Structure 1
Amino acid sequence: MVTLVGDGIENPANATALTEAAGMFAVPCRFRDSRDLSSQLPGLSTVDTDGLLTTPIVAVDNAPGAESVYNVRRIHSGASIVVGNERRGIRPDLLRAAAHTVQIPMPGRGVNTLNVATAAAVALYYLSGATGRRPARRSQRPDVLLAAPRDHVEAGSSLRSAAAFGWSAVAVEDRDKVWFGTPRPLRAESRAAARSHRNPLRVMPSEGPDPVYSRIVVCSPTSDGPPVHRTDLTGAGTLIVIPDEGWEPPPSRTVEWARVDVPGAPGRYRLVTGIVLAEVARQLGDSAKARPPRRGLSYGSELDLTAPDGGELLDPWELEQY
């Protein structure tokens, strides 16, 4: 059995999500707590540096020379899979001691990182299982529908993952109003989770799977279908549906089912979407790489963003909602 380790995690919500990511794969979760996280989360399971260095370390970090997580063979029991601080990554002492350093390829043009818990779930999926994978092939990128997300932050983080894995547009079936028409405080939290200030993703409202698609593949941890890594998730006319709990496809549509194959708990929505989107990107291979942005105009100066007394400073993504 491997152990998931968070190195220097600051945000208690991320620590909780990391614990849930470990639960998806039925492995323990520990923290090298250099940010006084335990004062906010009593009972946090910690590990000191000496104890951590006694195990083989697999660092998940986009450090120079890191190998693609898709290419690493299944690691041996007893290893520690380490993810780092939300801003600084893994500290240098663990990177130097790592037996393997792996990265999750990010073909996106704007956002190029995942939420730390999502990155952990993707790494665990490929490092501790996902055998018998379909080979990568050059094919057309499928469309994606996030079906009935129930939490605004989970939806925002899932959209961040979609942009990082190279999508330029994603549809959302927003039954619970977690993205469109939400109150301003919730909207701010969801857009922050999506990194909307640097995310070029177009989010489109949807009423469900459109009849225009010739093939609909629903990916869920609770389905009876084959594992997603053994299912063809690419091709023209394909729609990948990632449902939250309780979603059912329209009775008039014929769908294929694929299973997010995890041995433990189903996990929260951002973790499931991250694994599915990573697998689609893996199957696309080199064709998943996003085109470089067009060369635009350059400017010799910029405006200062200031708000006069009594005014309110808005981000561009907020203006787009009107």
Structure 2
Amino acid sequence: MQRIAIIDLGTNTFNLLIVEYAKNKKPKVIFKNKIPAKLGAGGFTEKKIKPKAFQRGLDALHIHKDSINEFGVFSVHAFGTSALRDASNSNKFLKAVLKETGIKVNIISGEKEAELIYNGVSKAIDIGPKPQLIMDIGGGSTEFIIADRKQILWKHSFDLGISRIWESLAPSDPLHERDIKALGKVLDIGLKLLFSALKQFPVEGLIGSSGSFESLAKLILVLKGREYDFAKNTCYSFKLNELQMIHNMLIKSTKKERKKMKGLVKYRLDTIPLASVFVMYIISRLKIKEMRLSTYALREGVMSEMINMA
């Protein structure tokens, strides 16, 4: 048995996954942890990691390094996404990470990120024989993949991450109608490539991976008074009327009110109303009739690739 660690250095969160595996056996998750490093915070316009974000990133990786040491990991695979792709000082950050923790970080392209998200989602959910749209809302970028259970038909990474949008639009709290309209205009223009691809590959439904989609699912379950173990159940099917109800609640809520909502993590308090608008925009624009959640995403896709290569 061997243990490997995967670290996803996202724009908002640094995610650690430690798995144990042996040849021809299903990998077993030993440990998971998410730390809200907010690496991209305040730096989207300048394309720079700000000093406080720089330090938060290092602090988060020191914590992950301690976990890696504690669990006796054989090899570490760390990768950076949107914030590190864009930042002019990303090399400085990567050098500091290597010097302080011994962790070597590779920056992956948006297209590779989309491919790995598909790999992760396909391990959690039966995508099905007909094309589905997979959507992964990140902090700096959002990936869309059109795929069936056998293959990717089309993929693209858009610089439309929810933290990037939030900083750009600077919406009121609670959201005003003008904020919703402004986001709609941004998406109308920014997602033209997606809408063009969907003419070639019409989809049956939407699959949201991890992140904001998991938060929306948890809010629905809390409202219904239901328990759901996302560690054991990697898939969740949304009822669109329940999603609409949560959406209406979120867009009318203040940050103070969202702080009291069970199932909502602290680092999504600012962005979850806009994320909900983004999701509902896609559902409305594409006339989606079915939506599912995959709790697996990028890091599980990397895990799959690493184990296949071992």
Which category of TM-score, normalised to the shorter sequence, fits these structures?
A: 0.3 to 0.5
More helix by share: 2
TM-score in terms of structure 1 length: 0.32
More strand by share: 2
Give the greater-gyration-radius structure (CA): 1
TM-score in terms of structure 2 length: 0.33
